[in-house]
Chains A and B, each alone.
Chain A
Amino acid sequence: MVKLLEVIKKNFKILIRSKSSALIILFGPLLLILLVGTAFNTSSFYDIKVGSYSTSYNNLSNSILEKLEQDQYKISKTKSEESCINGVKTGAYHICTIIPADLEISDSAENTIAVYVDQSRLNLVFAVKGAIIERVGESSKEISESLTSIVVNELESSKNELREDTSILMKLKESNELFTSNIYKIETELAGIDLSLTTTATGEILNKTKELKEQLAAAQVDDTRKVTEIEDLTKLLKEQLDTLSGASKLVSEIVPQIKENAIAESSQLVEIERTANRIITNVDAIAVKDVETLISPIKTSVNTVSAEKTHVNYLFPTLIMMVVMFVSLLLSCVTVIREKVSSAYFRNYISPTKASLFVLATFLTNILIIIMQLAIVLIVMLFIQPELSNTLLNMGGAIIIITSSFILLGMIVGYIFNSEETATIGAISLGTILLFFSNTIVPLETLPVSIQKIVDFNMFVVSDSILRNIIIFGTGLKESLPEIQILLIHIAAFVLIIAAIYNVSSKMFNIKRYLHK
C-alpha cells in the first residue's frame, strides 16, 4: 500500500510539474466547459446565412424572406441561381433557396421553392432545412387559409341564398299547382258547354221565321219588319255561336297541352326543390367548416420527453463523454509511454516490486486525475443546470465505470506503441473511430444493420447512452444495467490484455531500443 501510494504520488508530481500537463489537467476542462457553456447555452441558431435567388421578387416571396430574417437568418440575394448554389458549396451560405419569379398562388403558376443544402454538414442541414421549410410552410399556410376561407364562405353564403330562394320556389310550385287545377276546371267547364245545338236551334228559328213570313205574306200583312229583325238577330246569333264554337274547339285543343306543360313544370319544380334541399342538407352535413382544420386536418406536434432546455443541456452527456474518452485515452497512453521510455523505468524494473503494482498505480493515477477534471466540469455545470445535483450519485458511479474502461484502453495503446508521438496518434485515431461510429456525428441508423450490430458495443455509444439516461432523463444505474454490463466485459477483457502484454511490451521496447543503439 505504501509503495502504491508512493508510485501514485510520484505520477502526480511528474504530471503537475510538467507545465503543459498541469495546464491541460487543471485548466483544460475549465476552458472547455467555459467555451461550450458560453457557446451553446441557447436554443437558437445564430449567423445562419441563407442565399436566395429569384428572377423577380414580389410581395409573397419578400414576405417569406422577411420571416426568415426575423428569425435571425442572414438573407443574401444572389445575382444568379448558380452563384447561390455555389455559395452553399463554398460555405458562403448554409442553405440556398431558389424562389420562382413572381411567386403567386394560382392553378397555372409555378410555385415550388427549391432548397439547396450541403449534405456533408448533416446536423446543421437537418436543423436549418427544417427551420427554413417551417417558415416557408407558414407563408404557404397563410395563403392556403385565405384561399380556403373564401371557398368556405362562398359555400356558406350560397347555401343561405339557396335556403332563402327555396320559399320562392315553394310559391312557384303552389301557383303552378293552382294553375293546373284551374286548367282542370276550365277543361271541365268547357266539356260541359254543348255548342252543337246552336246551329239546329238557329236553323229552326230561321225556318220558323220564314214560315212566319210566308204566313204573314199569305195573310196579306205588309208589315214584316219585326220578323226580319228576328231573322237578322238570329243570323247574328248563329254567326256568334259559330265563332264561339270555333273558339271552344280551339280552347279544347290547347287546354290539354297547357295542362301537360303545367304538370311537367310542376314535376320539374319538385325536382328543383329536392335538389335545393339536398344541397342545403349536404352543405349542412359538412362537419368541419373551420378553415385551419380544413387546410391541415391532421396536426402534428413534437413533444420532448424531457423539459425544454438549451443546447448545452442536451450536449452535456456527449460533452462529458468526449472529455472522458479523449482525456482518458490520451492521458493513460501518455502516462504509460512516458514511463516506458523513461530512463527511470529500468530502476523500477530492477526494484523488488511487482509489475502489477505499477499497472495499478498508473490506472489509479489516471482515474484520479480524470475524476478531478470532471469534478471541475460538474461544479461549473451545476451553476448552469442546478437540477444536475439530483443525478450526481448515479453520474459518479457511471463515470467511474466509463472512465475505467477508457483508461484501460488507453493504457493498452501505450503498451503497444513505442513512442509518445505514435501512441498519441494511436489514441486520437482510436477515439476518433469510436466517436465517428456513434450518434454524435452521423445517426447510427444510417449505417448498415450488420455494422450497427457491432457499433452497439462501441464503448462511446454505450457510455453516452448511460450518461444520457442519467443526466437528461434522470434514471438510475439500474435502468442502464445492460450497458453497464457491456462496459464491465470490456474492462475485464482489457485487464487480461494488459496482463498479457505488459512484460512483452516492455521487453520488446527495450530490445528495440537496444538494437537501435
Chain B
Amino acid sequence: MPSQIEVKNISKSFGKHEVLKDINLEIPAKKIFGIIGPSGCGKTTLLKTMIGFWDPNSGEVKYETRSLKDHSTYIKQIVGFATQENCVYPKLTVKENLEYFGALSNVPRKTLRSNIEKVIKFVQLEDSTNELAENLSGGMQRRLDIACALIHKPRILMLDEPTEDLDPILRKDVLALIKRINSDDTTIIMTSHLLHEAEQLCDTIAILHNGRLLKCGTPEELRKSFSKEDEIHLITLKRKYSDLIKKIKTKEVKKIENAGNRLVIRTSDAESTLKNILDAIRKSGDKIVQIDVRKPSLTEIFESLVKKSGEAPRGH
C-alpha cells in the first residue's frame, strides 16, 4: 500500500536540545497510525514538525508526494490537528468555534453549516451547541477540539495524546470516536504514552524513545520482532505443579517457572504445549482454575527496546 505521508530523515533541535533524530516514517492512508513513547520523547514535536509548525533542522515531510515546504497551504487544507491542550476559544460557543475554524479553513458558508451539524452530531455535542467551550466538561472539550479539527473534512487527522487527562469512561468515548472517524476513511495519526491504548487502537505503531525511532510496524510485527515465544499462565485447583512440570517438558517448552500459586510456561508452540497440559491435568485428576495464553505486551516490547538502546528515558 503506498504511503500517504512520508517522513524522511527528520531532525529537530531547540538550541542545543536535540528533540528528534533522523526520523523516518511511512504512514499508510485510511489507517490509524500510533506514535508511542514516554512523555518527553518527542511525539508532539514530531507531529508539529509534520504539520509545519516547527521547521525541521533537516529532512522533509511529504503528503501524497507533495512536499510540505512547498505546499503548506494545500497540506493544511487536508490535515486536521487536535492537540492535548484543546485548541479552542473558551469564550466562544461550540458552534462559534466550529464556524470560526471552518471559515479559517476555507469552508464555503453553505457547506460549513451542514458540516457543523454533521460534526456536532458525530462528536455527540448536539445538546451543547450553544454552550461556551469553557463550560464544557473535559471530555466534551476534547470532543469539541476533535470536531474543530474535523470541520473542514480533512483526509488526515493528527491527534496528540487524545485521551490525556481523561477519566476511563471519557477515554473510552474518545477512543470509540477515533474508530468512528477512521471508519470514514480518514487517516489518523495519534500519539500516546498509554501503550496498551495504542495497542488496542492502532494499525501501525512507531515506538519513539529520546527522539529516536526504535521500531515501527503493526502490533503483531512488533511482538514477533520482540519474541517468538508465548507464555502460558496456569492455575490448578490443587496447585501442586511438580508432577505436571515433568509431564509437559518437551523441546518446544523453553522455560517453566513455578511462581507460587501459578505456573508460567514459555513455549515456541503454544498449541501442542496446551494439549500436553490439558492431558496431564486430566490424568492427574486435578482441575483447571485459570489458563491464559499471553503474547508479549507492547509495554514489554517497549521496555525491552529501551533496555537495548541503553538510554534512560528523558525526563525520568
Stretch at the interface among B76-84, B217-225, B226-234, B254-262: B76-84
Within B85-116, which residues are at the interface with A (CB < 8 Å)? 85-89, 91-92, 96, 99-101, 103-106, 109
Instruction: Fill in one digit per residue for A322-355: 1 if any B CB lies within 8 Å of its CB, else 0.
Output: 0000000000000000000011111111111100
CA distance A480 to B64 in the complex (A): 59
Q: Counting CB contacts under 8 A, is A3 at the interface?
A: yes
Complex: chain B residue closest to A506, CB-CB: B53
List of B residues within 8 angstroms of A514 by Cβ: 14, 45
> Min CB distance, B270 to chain A, in Å?
44
B92 touches A347 (CB 8 A): no
With A3-B104, A347-B81, A511-B14 in contact, is A13–B52 under 8 Å at CB?
no
> Min CB distance, A484 to chain B, in Å?
36
CA distance A221 to B254 in the complex (A): 232
A17 touches B132 (CB 8 A): yes
> Min CB distance, A221 to chain B, in Å?
179
List of B residues within 8 angstroms of A342 by Cβ: 89
Q: Counting CB contacts under 8 A, is A309 at the interface?
A: no
Q: Counting CB contacts under 8 A, is B148 at the interface?
A: yes
List of A residues within 8 angstroms of B45 by Cβ: 514
B14 touches A515 (CB 8 A): yes
With A10-B96, A13-B96, A17-B132 in contact, is A351–B86 under 8 Å at CB?
no
With A346-B53, A511-B14 in contact, is A352–B105 under 8 Å at CB?
yes
> Min CB distance, A12 to chain B, in Å?
11
> Min CB distance, A50 to chain B, in Å?
54
List of B residues within 8 angstroms of A343 by Cβ: 83, 85-88
> Min CB distance, B297 to chain A, in Å?
28
Within A1-17, which residues are at the interface with B (CB < 8 Å)? 2-3, 6-7, 10, 13-14, 17
Complex: chain A residue closest to B158, CB-CB: A350
List of A residues within 8 angstroms of B77 by Cβ: 352
A2 touches B103 (CB 8 A): yes
Q: Counting CB contacts under 8 A, is A59 at the interface?
A: no
Q: Counting CB contacts under 8 A, is A56 at the interface?
A: no
Q: Counting CB contacts under 8 A, is A304 at the interface?
A: no
Instruction: Fill in one digit per residue for A273-306: 1 if any B CB lies within 8 Å of its CB, else 0.
Output: 0000000000000000000000000000000000
List of A residues within 8 angstroms of B132 by Cβ: 17
List of A residues within 8 angstroms of B101 by Cβ: 347, 351
CA distance A503 to B252 in the complex (A): 62
> Min CB distance, B155 to chain A, in Å?
14
Complex: chain A residue closest to B109, CB-CB: A2
List of A residues within 8 angstroms of B282 by Cβ: none
List of B residues within 8 angstroms of A106 by Cβ: none
B104 touches A14 (CB 8 A): no
Partner among A3, A6, A344, A346 whose Cβ is within 8 Å of the Cβ of B89:
A344
Q: Counting CB contacts under 8 A, is B17 at the interface?
A: yes
A353 touches B104 (CB 8 A): yes
Q: Counting CB contacts under 8 A, is A446 at the interface?
A: no
Q: Counting CB contacts under 8 A, is A70 at the interface?
A: no
List of A residues within 8 angstroms of B213 by Cβ: none
List of B residues within 8 angstroms of A2 by Cβ: 103, 109
Complex: chain A residue closest to B134, CB-CB: A17
B14 touches A6 (CB 8 A): no
CA distance A483 to B91 in the complex (A): 41
> Min CB distance, A313 to chain B, in Å?
40
A344 touches B104 (CB 8 A): no
> Min CB distance, B45 to chain A, in Å?
7
By a beta-carbon cutoff of 8 Å, the part of chain A in contact with chain B is 2-3, 6-7, 10, 13-14, 17-18, 342-353, 510-511, 514-515
26 contacts between A and B (CB under 8 A): A3-B103, A6-B103, A6-B104, A14-B89, A14-B91, A17-B91, A17-B132, A343-B83, A343-B88, A344-B89, A346-B53, A346-B87, A347-B81, A347-B83, A347-B88, A347-B148, A348-B104, A350-B51, A350-B81, A352-B74, A352-B77, A352-B105, A352-B106, A514-B45, A515-B14, A515-B15
By a beta-carbon cutoff of 8 Å, the part of chain B in contact with chain A is 14-15, 17, 45, 51-53, 73-74, 76-77, 79, 81, 83, 85-89, 91-92, 96, 99-101, 103-106, 109, 132, 148-149
